[in-house]
Amino acid sequence: MWCRWAQRDLTALVDRELTPSRARRVRRHVDRCEACAEQLAGLQQTVRRQRELLSRLNEAAPEAPVDAMLRRLRSEIREPEATQQARRWWLSPQIVAAVAASAVAVLGLLRLSEPLLVAVGLEDPPEIVAEKPDLFVDYTLFEHLDTIEHLEVGSAPPTDSRG
């Protein structure tokens, strides 16, 4: 059981990637176990050779055309940025300000034109007129408003057929 546990750590021990306490425990076991000591020696050789082989493999790879790749990289980076900027033209400050100003103007016009729209029947009158028509039924009063305003105390009020 100790061997199985220790052998899992042998590669990391060779790579010097064990914590100091764990490395000490593994080495203590290896010092007492011939099989694991042999395994460790073999792995040390293996890791050294693999580093050499992989390094040679890396060096043998064809040279990458760095300048050509850099040119392609630059065009690839700049093209998406230019495309994104072109797509976002409508987010430019000038466009946003113009749209906002237009919206304010349109809303203002709609507000001012409300009585006109009501008069020609394109808009319903305000709700209060519909809810309390009695307030607006005595047009006779309004017809004689001028008279009422100038009525002197003691004089008879104008007669109304509705009483």
Partner 1 sequence: MNPEKDPDVQLMLAVQRGDEAAFEALFRKHVRPVVGFALSFVGSQARAEELAQEAFVRVYQTRSRYQPAARFTTWLYRIVTNLCLSDTRRVEHRVMTEPHTRGGGGEVVVDAGDLPDEQGQSGEERLLAHEDLDRVRDVLDRLPPQQRAALLLARVEGLSYDEVAKSLESSVSAVKSLIHRATVSMRDELAKDD
Q: Given the rule CB under 8 A, which residues bind partner 1? A: 8-12, 15, 17, 42-43, 46-47, 49-58, 60-66, 69-70, 72-73, 76-77, 80
Please give the span between the terminal C-alpha atoms of the chain, in angstroms, as a whole number.
Answer: 116
Query: Could you give the CA distance from residue 8 to residue 12 in angstroms, rounded to a whole number?
Result: 8
Structure tokens at 65: 């055309």
Residue closer to partner 1, measured from CB, 46 or 113? 46
Judged on CB neighbours under 10 Å (0-12, 13-18, 19+), 36 is: buried
Residue closer to partner 1, measured from CB, 17 or 138? 17
Closest contact distance (angstroms) between CB of 30 and partner 1 is 15
DSSP string, 26-56: HHHHHHH-HHHHHHHHHHHHHHHHHHHHHHH
Residue closer to partner 1, measured from CB, 56 or 87? 56
Closest contact distance (angstroms) between CB of 96 and partner 1 is 23
Residue closer to partner 1, measured from CB, 9 or 29? 9
In the block, which residue shows the tokens 């305003």? 149
Q: Which amino acid is at 53?
A: L
Closest contact distance (angstroms) between CB of 76 and partner 1 is 6
Residue closer to partner 1, measured from CB, 88 or 132? 88
Closest contact distance (angstroms) between CB of 20 and partner 1 is 15
In the block, which residue shows the tokens 């009422």? 148
Instruction: Judge contact between 2 and 33, C-beta under 8 A.
Output: yes
Closest contact distance (angstroms) between CB of 103 and partner 1 is 33
